[in-house]
A and B are shown apart, each in its own frame.
Chain A
Amino acid sequence: MANTSLVNIEMINDSSLINKLNAKQLKELALLATNADQINKIIQAQHMDHEVLTVILANSKALIKNLATDSLLKLVKNSIDLQELKIIFGGINARRNDNSSISR
């Protein structure tokens, strides 16, 4: 697992670099992400796939409700079953609830 050390959280801020990361590297990066902005960048990376999504859903569930709408849409499109959709929509609905209560 020596190659793992090549991925660090700073890569997220380099837009050209993050698009060069493969899915496996993105998964490792997702494990390192700690806020919604970082997750957004991983999701929008060129090689983001279902494997990356599963890591995000597993490790960053609480961050979903704070993701950008484009990220949410991409998550939905990359999901494959009801279970994953439920997690995503759990976050979406939480955000709608928050906004609803605020607006009220």
Chain B
Amino acid sequence: MPDVMTTAVSPDRSGSTPFTPNQYGNIDSTTWNELVLEAMLVLIEKGQSGALKDFVNTQILEPKDEKGTLLEQAKISNQEQLSIDNLEILGAQLKDAQTINALFEHFQNAKDPVFYKAILRNDNLNSLITGGLKEPLLFNLLENSDTNSVNGKIIDKLLDTSADSSVAYINDIINNEPQKLITIAKKATKIEHCTKVLDALGKNNRRLESLGAIGEDIARAMLQTKHEGLLESLKFQRFDITKKRDLNIKDKIVFAKCIDNSTQLANLAGNLPGDEPPGSEDHIRAVKEIIDNTSFDDEVADQLFKHPENIKFLEAEYLMKLAERAGSKGQFNSILNANNTNSQVVDAVIKFANSKPQDIFSKAFDDLDKTISTKIASNPPRVVRGLLRFAKAALPIVKLAITPFAVAANFIMHPIKTFKQIRSGRFTMPFAGTPTSMLKSISKTINELDKKEKVKFIELDNDSKKDLVSCGNNESFKKQFGQMNVARNIESAKAAPPAIVSPETAASGQEVTNNSISKVEEAMTTLAKVTDLGAASLSHKVDNSSLKSWVDVKKEEAPGLIDWANDKVSFPQVEEGRQDEQAKVIVSALAEIVRLSKEKNTSKEEVELEAAGFSPDMMGKILSQLESTPIAGLQLHCGEAAKLPEALQQQLGRINDRNKAVPYKPDTPATPAINRGMAPPAATTKESPHPTTPPIIDTELLKKPGSASGKKPI
């Protein structure tokens, strides 16, 4: 302490010369600060910090006189009232929030980070926050907080939406200073903090998306927090666990754009559904952002594939990007099933499917045929086309029997055109031989087409309908088709005379007339007759078990010939006027059966075949052929049902006897006639580029128009 007498008469410490009326001169800012600080410390030390507000307000800020308040004067002169050092001391020690508010509001130096950091060091910070520290002081405290030691209560207080003032504050910053939310998000330490920000936006009918670049910065701030576990807690679903409120999809769109981490992106991708169902416009936008994100990888794609509803509406460019990441049959199917799948997408699927390791696909494609069957039955032609190409791509891996698919796919895509192709011979493989499951799928699809495109379907000409039945070498298919589809077509046509107009027909200006309907009725009559007779195909049971091995060979080479389930050799329907031709074919087939049977079996036993189902007339034709063409070892028998006339029975006996006597020559065909009726090697068509084995039966015979024989089996 300076000597009292010396000090009393000396100029003040500012060095200014004392002047009257105060011989000790003005109170300079340094002295003033010292006086104020000491006074405040007195109150603090005496446990009267609550009195500080009064002191500050009455003695420091507003000691009025005739010239107005000191504060006003201070503002006018812009003089410093409290040093930053004093403010730092006060900030660290004051226990009263209101005093600190007063200091912050009225002292220029209280806007200095030193003051904020001093408050943050205050042992009573929590009580100061809860006791009423005001924004923007709170915000400044937050902004000056060390990211790793943020006092969460500051954020809680700032975004305490239950308080009117806070709501007003939030409204204000959202509308005027939304960038403040970036800071809050950056400092967030808990899931609840992020929730508060997003909730505040939501309550103001704002979303991150609507804030544009600021919204993205907020999202990035949340994502880049150093507090581990925060993002995992976000989960993007059930964002606020306590309130069971989902993260809004519009917020998710922004997150999808801002995430720079694959795991986080996958997390988001797997949790897109929430307040809106998959397939909505916003969902699609979110998916696009995810795909466009540089962190998009297989893991993320896996999550997206969980919601095919979203994939369905993606544009082709996104589908191709997805194709690159797809890793399973189901995922590729999702792409192929999308509305915007085009040839480029299919090419991408094929390309990337082939690039995958075989071990992935060996399992994935195990039941591809079943899948495709199902898809054919339930998807539009364009999808089937994609499936077909996909199946071809997979063929080298899983050795799929592609031809039936080709037929089925073409049928689904272009039913009328396909029938015409079959009839004109451009399709060397008819429906015969198509697996039962596939036929069922086709039948089901017919039903679907029937419902959707009645007019188109009944425009099939009668011959096509008949062919469809006759070449479908499967009873259940024929029955299903004949009784359900065509019948309903007719009923539909009848129910809505005189005209049923399809979009295509309407566009062309044509109408379905009563004449068209009558043609359908005519076709139906024929079909019903055939179905009732059960003679759409004439089967010749092969009892000789030695043919089994031959059957095994032939079911690959000529799948249309064999009914595998019953070890039957099936022949196509005999047509009136063509019996001679067909008899030749049948005899050729019998010769081939015998030849192959002999080759497969070392024994020289005779091959016994039981013929049943042919009319006496047709049997006569066959026997005539056999008489002119001996087949070594062939013993043909007629079953009990085949009550041949006596003359024919005798003729058959003679033939069998002669065949017994003819020595078998393994190196040569049993008869030169054996190949006479066979079809030429199958041509590769546009629709089915895979070469097919020529069937033993001359399919050309089937292509010529004619009516069913209607004859009962003998």
Partner-B contacts on A (CB < 8 A):
15, 36-37, 40-41, 43-45, 65-74, 76-77, 79-82, 85-86, 88-90, 92-101, 103
Contact = CB atoms under 8 A, between A and B. Distances in A.
A101 B55 contact: no
Interface in B33-63: 34-35, 38-39, 42-43, 46, 48, 51, 54-55, 58-60, 63
Contacts of A96: 26-27, 32, 70
B4 A15 contact: yes
B67 interface: yes
A76 B39 contact: yes
24 contacts: A15-B4, A45-B4, A65-B22, A68-B8, A72-B27, A72-B31, A76-B35, A76-B39, A76-B42, A81-B51, A85-B39, A85-B42, A89-B63, A92-B27, A92-B35, A93-B70, A95-B22, A96-B26, A96-B27, A97-B70, A98-B21, A98-B22, A99-B27, A101-B67
A72 B46 contact: no
Contacts of A92: 27, 32, 35
Contacts of A72: 27, 31, 35
B5 interface: yes
B55 A73 contact: no
B685 interface: no
Contact of B43 (A44, A85, A93, A94): A85
A100 B2 CA distance: 27
A44 B13 contact: no
A67 B24 contact: yes
Contacts of B65: 93-94, 97
B126 interface: no
B73 interface: yes
Contacts of B1: 44, 70, 74
Contacts of B343: none
A50 to B, nearest CB: 11
B42 A80 contact: yes
B7 A81 contact: no
Given A15-B4, A37-B8, A82-B43, A69 B13 contact: yes
B23 interface: yes
B42 A69 contact: no
Chain B residues touching A, majority SS: helix
Contact of A79 (B3, B4, B7, B42): B42
Nearest to A42: B4
Interface residues of B, number: 38
Interface of B: 1-5, 7-8, 12-13, 21-27, 31-32, 34-35, 38-39, 42-43, 46, 48, 51, 54-55, 58-60, 63, 65, 67, 70, 73, 77
Nearest to A86: B59
Contacts of A82: 43, 48, 51, 54-55
Nearest to A45: B4
Contacts of A85: 39, 42-43, 55, 59
A86 B55 contact: yes
A37 B1 CA distance: 18
A82 B39 CA distance: 9
Contacts of A71: 8
A37 B55 CA distance: 28
A79 B39 contact: yes
Contacts of B24: 66-69
Nearest to A39: B8
Contacts of A68: 7-8, 12, 24
A15 B51 contact: no
Contacts of B38: 73, 76-77
**Most chain B CB neighbours (cut-off 10 Å) among A72, A74, A94:** A72
Contacts of A41: 4-5, 8
B63 A80 contact: no
Contacts of B8: 37, 40-41, 44, 68, 70-71
B63 A90 contact: yes
B51 to A, nearest CB: 4
B71 to A, nearest CB: 11
A71 B58 CA distance: 22
Nearest to A65: B22
B600 to A, nearest CB: 119
Contacts of B25: 99
Nearest to B14: A69
A18 to B, nearest CB: 8
Contacts of A77: 38, 42
Given A66-B23, A90-B59, A96-B70, 16 more contacts: A41-B8, A66-B24, A69-B24, A69-B31, A70-B1, A71-B8, A73-B31, A73-B35, A81-B43, A86-B59, A93-B70, A97-B65, A97-B67, A99-B22, A100-B67, A100-B77
B59 A15 contact: no
A29 to B, nearest CB: 14
Nearest to B30: A69
A88 B55 CA distance: 12
A73 to B, nearest CB: 6
**Most chain B CB neighbours (cut-off 10 Å) among A72, A81, A82, A90:** A82
B20 to A, nearest CB: 9
Contacts of B27: 69, 72, 92, 95-96, 99
Nearest to B54: A82
B179 to A, nearest CB: 41
A45 B5 CA distance: 10
Given A79-B39, A97-B65, A44 B55 contact: no
Contacts of B77: 100
B106 to A, nearest CB: 15
A99 to B, nearest CB: 4
**Most chain B CB neighbours (cut-off 10 Å) among A70, A76, A80, A103:** A70
A40 B43 CA distance: 24
Contact of B73 (A80, A98, A100): A100
B522 to A, nearest CB: 115
A71 B38 CA distance: 13
A75 B550 CA distance: 124
B55 A93 contact: no
Nearest to A67: B24
In the complex, the 3 A-B pairs of residues with the closest C-beta atoms, listed nearest first? A44-B4, A89-B59, A99-B26
